[in-house]
């Protein structure tokens, strides 16, 4: 069953491959707690909420936020895998209908 045309399915294939690569790598970098991504975990806003600015609490919260962002990236990459499968099926359906 064709839902989208060949150009749309090709665009979906390209975007999904790029999304899978990018979000998987970002998830890995969040998982290994890359310092370059420190601003992306939202810790500066969290520091004001932590009482007494206890450094152990700050480190623990930073670890939790890194793990949560890694998980979010991997979930989004999973959605891109579903988009890849859908776009691949649509590409196959469009090629098969032309032949």
The per-residue pLDDT for 63 is 93
Nearest partner of 74 among 3, 25, 15, judged by Cα:
25
pLDDT tens for each residue of 30-83: 999 999 998 888 877 666 666 566 778 888 888 999 999 999 999 999 999 999
Quick one: how far is CA 4 from the chain centroid?
Answer: 24
Domain assignment of residue 59, given as a range: 6-98
Residue 18: how many CB atoms within 10 A of its CB? 11
Q: Across the chain, how many H-helices and E-strands are there?
A: 3, 0
In a domain, 20, yes or no: yes
Q: Is residue 1 part of a domain?
A: no
Flag whether 77 is in a domain: yes
Question: What's the structural domain count of the chain?
Answer: 1
Is position 22 within any domain?
Answer: yes
Q: CB neighbours of 63 closer than 8 A, spacing ≥ 6?
A: 33
Q: Is the model's pLDDT at 29 over the cut of 90?
A: yes
Q: What is the pLDDT of residue 43?
A: 79
Alpha carbon distance 78, 83 (integer Å): 9
Angle, alpha carbons 41-45-50 (nearest 5°)? 105
Above 90 in pLDDT, residue 97?
no
């Amino acid at each position: 069953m064709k839902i989208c045309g060949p150009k749309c399915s090709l665009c979906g294939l390209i975007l999904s491959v790029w999304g899978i690569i990018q979000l998987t790598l970002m998830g890995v970098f969040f998982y290994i707690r890359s310092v370059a991504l420190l601003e992306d975990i939202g810790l500066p806003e969290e520091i004001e909420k932590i009482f007494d600015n206890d450094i152990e609490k700050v480190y623990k919260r930073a670890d939790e936020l890194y793990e949560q962002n890694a998980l979010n990236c991997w979930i989004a990459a999973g959605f891109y895998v579903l988009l890849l499968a859908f776009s691949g099926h649509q590409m196959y359906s469009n090629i098969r209908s032309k032949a």
